[in-house]
Amino acid sequence: MSKVNQSRRQFLRSASLASMAGISVSPFFLELNSVAALAQGTTASDYRALVCVYLQGGNDGHGTVIATDSDSYAAFTQARSGAPSLAYPLADLLPITLQTPQSGRTFALNPYLTGVQNLFNAGRAAVVANTGTLVAPATKAQIAANSVTLPDSLFSHFDQTAAWQAISANLGSGQHTGWGGSVADAIEAMSMNSNSIFTCISTSGNCLFLSGNSSVQLNVTPAGPIPIYGLTQPPFGASAASNPLNSILTADETNLFAQEYQNVINLSMKAQATLSTAMAPAGAGGVANAPQYLDPVTAKLVDNPLAQSLQTVARIIAGRSSLGVTRQIFFVELGGFDTHNNQAQVHSQLLTQLGSAFEYFDGLMVGAGLSNQVTAFTISDFGRTLTCNSNGTDHGWGSHHFVLGGAVKGQNMYGQYPVVGVNQANDLGAGRLIPTTSVEQYAGTLASWFGLSDAQIRQIFPNFANFGSNPYLGFMG
């Protein structure tokens, strides 16, 4: 056992005892949060948050951001002629106009991305084109000649998700820390947060992205953090004076698995009281509830789980002062993008949900005056094939991503949108795109905005220097 970990466990244990000792809950304090909700916070100008939106399963970038100049669009429809429902009619596509044109080409978004189109045209969203996992720039010829190092296990969900979330020299899946967690470690090292357990928050399960060496991740559901009821009131009639639950939950464990399970319990007990008080309520008096979205398949209004996750994020951001944080990294997840089958329907539902959730979240941040301080961005397992099976697409590599927020130099596209078509320069086969922008450039650009120095960034992203003298993409203001 290393000393680092020993001290961390010690920290968790003593911290949990401190929280047990009792942090008083002031009703007035809660009210402040509720009324002023997001806008409150005296040090608002110091605050910054990154919100990672993980499109689980591998989003079809080809069908998300579409080149509409006649050559590109013709190649797109030709490649998708086996499943015409995946080649959207030109008239249905949602045009976007770039502030910096890409050599005469025109672009549009998937017909179900109205929400993103609105944000894009309002200058609060940008596209980062053909981004993917790379060790170094790779060309088709280099790959054919086996003269360039490639990430391990391309096209595998598990491994490519790991490669996106956990940057490492060889991009293998054996990594246990993610770049969100590494950035949080740097924030902790700079003492930017007085209470670092609230730096990394996942509204999903445990994610690799937020796994750091010293930082921890908290999982928060819309229900908020709830207490272990039996701690305060023994449930079956035992006397409160002799309630041994706390000592049982914190006793010295000998078994490794019991120890680590216990550490999670202790972290939970430590975070619960503070977070449940600090978090703004949902709905009236707090953060407005997420609107339902109109399911394009069933034509029914349905709940938007992604927007609800982003509401949870906003509720925590509202409590940032009480949490003692000036930097936070969030992870939210929308599943279902592995559209091997029935893609037209599934993708339309997911993108509608995504656009609606983004618009809702942007509205919350603009309304709170935090738009310039909160940046959301998408990641996914990989892109998908340009060609299709009878009604879906398969695992690809490079893909197009969205960055969102007031600090984004919006209404623009960063990175090179590839020539569309099978057997083009960036096609590894079946339209599996060889990325021209690396995840590390994408991530490094965000980390730089977040406040990390160039040196810190180059330490976290070991392949950063492989992408030119200035690998930053410039999409952040």
Partner 1 sequence: MQAPSAPPALCGSALFLSFCLLAALFETGCNSPLPGYGKGAAGISATSSSIRVNQKLQLTQVQSGPLNYSVSGVPGGNAVFGTVSSTGLYVAPAVVPSPDTVTITATSTEYPTATTGSVGLQVWNPIPVLTSVTPSAFSEGTTAVQVNGSQFVFGAQVSWNGALLDTTYVSSTELVASVSAPNPGTFPLTVTNPDPGSASATPISVIVGPGQVVLKLDTSGGTDVRVSNSIALGLTVNGTNNAGVTLAVNGVANGNAQWGTAAIVNGLITYTAPAVVPTQSTVISGYPNIVQLTVTSQDNPTVAIAQNISVMNPIPILQSVSPSSFASTSTTPATITLTGTSFISGATVLVNGSAVTTTFVDGMHLTAPADISELGNLDVQVMNPAPGPSGSEDLVVTVGASQPPFQIVKPADAARFLEHATFGATDADIRHLSTIGYQAWLTEQFNTPQTPTEPAVEEELIVNNPPCAVGDLKCNAALFVQNTQNENLVQAQFWQQALTGKDALRERIKYAFTQMFVISSDNSTAIQYMPRGEASYYDMLGAETLNNDKIEHGVFSNFHTILQDVTLSPMMGQFLNMLGNDKGNATTDPDENYAREIMQLFTIGLWQLNDDGSQKLDANGQPIPTYSNADVMGLAAVFTGFGWNVPGNTTDTAWSSCCLYEGTGFGEELLPMQTYPSHHSTGTETVLGQSITLSDPTTDLNAALSIIFNHANVPAFFAKQMIQHLVTSNPSPAYVTRVAQTFEGNGQYGTGVRGDMKAVITAILLDPEAQTPTIDSDVTMLKYGKVREPLLRYTEWARAFSAQSRNGAFNLGSTEDPIYGLGEMWLRSPTVFNWFSPGYTPPGTTISTDNLLAPEMQITNVSTVVGFINYMQNAIGATNTQGPDVFSNYTEEMQLAGATDLDPLMDRINLLLMAGQMSPTMYTAIESAVSSIPLPTNGDTAAMNAALLGRVQTAIYLTMASPDFAAEQ
How many residues contact partner 1, by CB under 8 A?
Answer: 107
Among residues 18, 264, 425, 465, the one that binds partner 1 under rule CB under 8 A? 264
Residue 332 bridge partners (DSSP): 53
> Is 373 among the residues that bind partner 1 (CB under 8 A)?
no
Secondary structure of 107-138 as H, E, C letters: EEECCCCHHHHHHHHCCCEEEEEEEECCCCCC
Give min distance, CB of 348 to partner 1, in A: 14
Between 158 and 453, name the residue whose CB sits nearer to partner 1. Answer: 158
26 three-state secondary structure: coil
Among residues 14, 259, 416, 453, the one that binds partner 1 under rule CB under 8 A? 259
Q: Which two tokens stand for residue 239?
A: 């006397």
Among residues 363, 409, 458, 462, the one that binds partner 1 under rule CB under 8 A? 363
Between 137 and 230, name the residue whose CB sits nearer to partner 1. Answer: 230
> Is 41 among the residues that bind partner 1 (CB under 8 A)?
no
Among residues 24, 248, 423, 455, the one that binds partner 1 under rule CB under 8 A? 248
Give min distance, CB of 239 to partner 1, in A: 4
> Is 335 among the residues that bind partner 1 (CB under 8 A)?
yes
Between 200 and 457, name the residue whose CB sits nearer to partner 1. Answer: 200
> Is 367 among the residues that bind partner 1 (CB under 8 A)?
yes
Residues 419-438 that bind partner 1 (CB under 8 A): 429-430
> Is 288 among the residues that bind partner 1 (CB under 8 A)?
yes
Residues 128-157 that bind partner 1 (CB under 8 A): 153-157
Among residues 18, 25, 39, 136, the one that binds partner 1 under rule CB under 8 A? 39
Name the one range near partner 1 by CB under 8 A: 14-22, 285-293, 444-452, 464-472.
285-293
Residues 79-118 that bind partner 1 (CB under 8 A): 79-83
Between 219 and 378, name the residue whose CB sits nearer to partner 1. Answer: 219
Residue 329 bridge partners (DSSP): 50, 200
List the x/- string, 206-235, binding to partner 1 by CB under 8 A: x-x--xxxxxxxxxxx-x-xxxxxx---xx
CA neighbor of 80 nearest in space, from 426, 349, 339: 339
Q: Which two tokens stand for residue 5?
A: 């970990």
Give min distance, CB of 141 to partner 1, in A: 18
Report d(CA 290, CA 410) in Å as an integer. Answer: 24
Among residues 19, 56, 276, 321, the one that binds partner 1 under rule CB under 8 A? 56
Residue 282 bridge partners (DSSP): 287
Secondary structure of 141-192 as H, E, C letters: HHHHCCCCCCCCCCCCHHHHHHHHHCCCCCCCCCCCCCHHHHHHHHHHHCCC
Among residues 28, 205, 423, 455, the one that binds partner 1 under rule CB under 8 A? 205
Please check whether residue 414 is in contact with residue 473, taking contact to mean a CB–CB distance below 8 angstroms: yes
> Is 305 among the residues that bind partner 1 (CB under 8 A)?
no
> Is 265 among the residues that bind partner 1 (CB under 8 A)?
yes
Between 90 and 430, name the residue whose CB sits nearer to partner 1. Answer: 430
Name the one range near partner 1 by CB under 8 A: 236-244, 305-313, 317-325, 466-474.
236-244
Residues 154-173 that bind partner 1 (CB under 8 A): 154-159, 173
Please check whether residue 194 is in contact with residue 460, taking contact to mean a CB–CB distance below 8 angstroms: no
Report d(CA 473, CA 107) in Å as an integer. Answer: 20
| Amino acid (1-letter code) at residue 206 | N
Report d(CA 319, CA 34) in Å as an integer. Answer: 10
Q: DSSP for 84-98?
A: GGGS--GGGSEEE--
Between 381 and 440, name the residue whose CB sits nearer to partner 1. Answer: 381
> Is 395 among the residues that bind partner 1 (CB under 8 A)?
yes
Give min distance, CB of 385 to partner 1, in A: 7
> Is 62 among the residues that bind partner 1 (CB under 8 A)?
no
Report d(CA 295, CA 247) in Å as an integer. Answer: 50
Give min distance, CB of 371 to partner 1, in A: 9
Report d(CA 84, CA 90) in Å as an integer. Answer: 13
Residues 437-476 that bind partner 1 (CB under 8 A): none
Report d(CA 386, CA 399) in Å as an integer. Answer: 11
CA neighbor of 120 nearest in space, from 346, 429, 402: 402
Give min distance, CB of 392 to partner 1, in A: 7
Among residues 237, 423, 455, 469, the one that binds partner 1 under rule CB under 8 A? 237
> Is 362 among the residues that bind partner 1 (CB under 8 A)?
no
Among residues 60, 188, 394, 440, the one that binds partner 1 under rule CB under 8 A? 394
- What contacts 361, CB < 8 A, 6 or more positions away? 51, 307, 310, 313, 314, 376, 404
Give min distance, CB of 458 to partner 1, in A: 22
Rounded to 5 degrees, what are φ and ψ at 95? -65, 145
Q: Exposure pattern of 398-431 as b/e (b: 16+ CB <10 Å)?
A: bbbbbbbbbbbbbbbbbbebbebbeeeebbbebb
Among residues 13, 105, 340, 409, the one that binds partner 1 under rule CB under 8 A? 340
- Entry field: residues in the chain: 477
